[in-house]
Amino acid sequence: ARHLFHEMSVHIKPNRQTFGKLIETAAKGGKQREALMWFKEMEAHRFMPNVVTYTALIDAAAKAGDLDAADSWRCEMVKRSIAPNRLSYGCLLDAAARQGDMNRAQQ
């Protein structure tokens, strides 16, 4: 993905949606570290994350079985006055289920 990003950047200036797609793609592949790398790259380009960005980060953490990281992303988005949506909460429930922590899922 990084190679394609650099190739694309020569012809097209990346925007928030570009980075959002890169984060989503990493999340779908269960690549939490790659999703985080793209998030940092997005911030370095001074694009503000939105609910889609944070939901993708929560999903990446969920697929990695990292409930603490998933919840941390939820907390960060709330701190930035971005309300989680149904998909955000669905990803958090997925993270809890993967850890077998249904008590935490019910909170």
pLDDT in tens, 48-87: 999 999 999 999 999 998 999 999 999 999 999 999 999 9
Tokens of 6: 């650099």
H helix count then E strand count, the chain:
7, 0
pLDDT tens digits, one per residue of 24-52:
999 998 899 999 999 999 999 999 999 99
Question: What confidence score (pLDDT) does residue 78 get?
Answer: 97
d(C-alpha 38, C-alpha 49), whole Å = 11
| pLDDT value at residue 99 | 81
Better-scored residue on pLDDT, 106 or 75: 75
Pure H helices in 1-107? 2-11, 16-28, 32-44, 51-63, 67-79, 86-99, 102-105
The model's pTM is: 0.84
Could you give the 3-state DSSP secondary structure of residue 92? Answer: helix
Mean pLDDT, rounded, of the chain: 88
